[in-house]
Amino acid sequence: MQPNKILNAKLAGALATLGHTDVVLVTDAGFPIPKDANIVDLGLTAGTVDVLEILRVLRQHMFVEEVRFAPEVKTEYPALYKDVQEIYTGSGAEFIPAPHEELIAEWAPKAKVVIRSGSLTAWANFALVASTDPYAWFRDDEPVEPLPLYKERRRRIETNEVPDFKTV
């Protein structure tokens, strides 16, 4: 066993395949998962494994530039919203609202991996858009100036910014 590593072989393998802009969808127990999805089913019983536990582990094992989820989480489940904010504070990730129907119709089909939790919390579905390490690319010892996207993510990380829904 490796300390502080993901023990689920399928999940660890799926995360190792991620590239920039690949999507990981973390769902509640009842989300309609496409039949051809690459699914890692972590739902053991109702309520376990919880979606927040999965998000906390993923936060330690992948770079995320966008977290898309239903705006109802903020308005109807403020405690859940606060927990998700806490998980992604200082990550550089942006929160972008995605209605539940959009998560089903657009994000689920393009997810490289779908992780089903045992959560029974309405709207507890999150599309994580994978990123690269904003410090590994465009290093200070290279003459190439970082792209604006990387500069902005670095700023959010360095200021330990608390994410909130992006206003359009």
**Mapping DSSP to helix (H, G, I), strand (E, B) and coil, where does residue 128 land?**
strand
Active site residue 20: yes
Given the structure tokens 């994580």, which residue do they identify?
128
Distance CA 36, CA 42 (A): 17
For residue 62, what are its two tokens?
A: 């992948």
**From edge to edge, which strands make up the β-sheet containing 126-130?**
39-41, 113-116, 23-27, 126-130, 64-69, 94-97
Tell me which of 13, 16, 17, 20 is the catalytic residue. Answer: 20
Name residue 165's beta-bridge partners. 95
Strand partners, 97: 69
Q: What distance in Å separates the CA atoms of residue 50 and residue 100, rounded to the nearest whole number?
A: 19
Catalytic residues: 20
